[in-house]
């Protein structure tokens, strides 16, 4: 026989998982897990059904609200021997989704082409397991089958002309989709050149300040102080990472 165990991280049995069994001859049979450890027999779950000796491969389809733990594979192969019972164990954890939306801070318009990711754990080699996606024309992307609890959502790439926003930590609930909005700032620039009127020679050391169209100073969002600069030897000063506007 071949016993397949489908359980959660607390060792509780999980029902509703679909198992595809491939026999040594290549034929396939589908089964659905119940609320206990179960033996693979025929489709009617006749537990007295005896498998022929050979290698059998299983592939699991996880029920909604769960995901395989990162150290567990989707498919396993077990050898069934005469008068022996082989065992394959699948371990699941509760899962949910996040829907990430990326928009322009100034216009509110959606930003397509932003890359988003969540590191959900480590694989058997100790490498990060990453769930990722790219926003569509509506500026959104849904990352599915994330482990429940605290997850950090990152925007790792944005179209040219925007700054990458800070990461957000959200709580994922089983079977639910958590909305995660990101607002990105544009990063336009202004180059100011100061020259002597009669000769056109650059003037170094001139202090330049930026104002909004209403006459108020443009302020640095981190320090809340007016943005100013001093021209270099070429008479130039560049103000970058500026928001859209006049």
Which tokens sit at 54? 């050979």
Helical H segments across the chain, by residue range: none
How far apart CA 160 and CA 187 sit, in angstroms, is 9
Which residue from 207, 243, 203 is spatially nearest to 228, judged by alpha carbons? 207
- Judge contact between 163 and 187, C-beta under 8 A: yes
Nearest to 86 by CA among 46, 57, 106, 61: 57
The per-residue pLDDT for 43 is: 45
Question: Cα dihedral sign for 215, 220, 223, 226?
Answer: negative
Among 105, 109, 102, 111, which Cα is nearest to 181's?
102
Q: pTM for this structure?
A: 0.61
Per-residue pLDDT of the chain (246 residues; tens, 9 = 90+): 888 888 988 888 888 888 898 989 898 888 777 655 555 554 444 333 467 889 999 999 998 899 999 889 999 999 988 888 888 999 999 999 999 999 988 778 899 999 999 998 887 788 888 999 999 999 999 999 899 999 999 999 999 888 899 999 999 999 899 999 999 987 778 999 999 999 999 999 999 999 988 999 988 767 888 989 999 999 999 998 776 678
């Amino acid at each position: 026989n071949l016993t397949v165990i489908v359980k959660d991280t607390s060792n509780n049995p999980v029902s509703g998982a679909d198992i595809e069994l491939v026999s040594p001859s290549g034929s396939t049979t589908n089964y659905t897990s119940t609320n206990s450890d179960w033996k693979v027999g025929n489709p009617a779950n006749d537990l007295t059904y005896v498998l022929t000796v050979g290698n059998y491969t299983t592939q699991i389809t996880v029920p909604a609200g769960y995901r395989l733990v990162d150290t567990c594979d989707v498919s396993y192969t077990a050898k069934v021997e005469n008068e022996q019972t082989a065992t394959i164990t699948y371990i699941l954890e509760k899962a949910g989704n996040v829907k990430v939306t990326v928009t322009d801070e100034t216009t509110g318009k959606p930003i397509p082409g932003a890359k988003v990711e969540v590191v959900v754990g480590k694989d058997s080699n100790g490498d990060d397991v990453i769930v990722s996606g790219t926003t569509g024309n509506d500026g959104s992307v849904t990352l599915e089958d994330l482990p429940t609890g605290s997850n950090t959502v990152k925007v790792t790439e944005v179209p040219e002309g925007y700054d990458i926003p800070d990461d957000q930590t959200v709580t994922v609930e089983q079977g639910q989709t958590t909305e995660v909005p990101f607002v990105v700032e544009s990063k336009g620039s202004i180059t100011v050149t100061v020259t002597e009127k009669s000769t056109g020679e650059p003037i170094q050391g001139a202090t330049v300040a930026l104002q909004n169209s209403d006459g108020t100073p443009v302020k640095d969002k981190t320090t809340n102080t007016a943005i100013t600069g001093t021209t270099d030897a070429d008479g130039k000063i560049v103000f970058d990472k500026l928001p859209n506007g006049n």
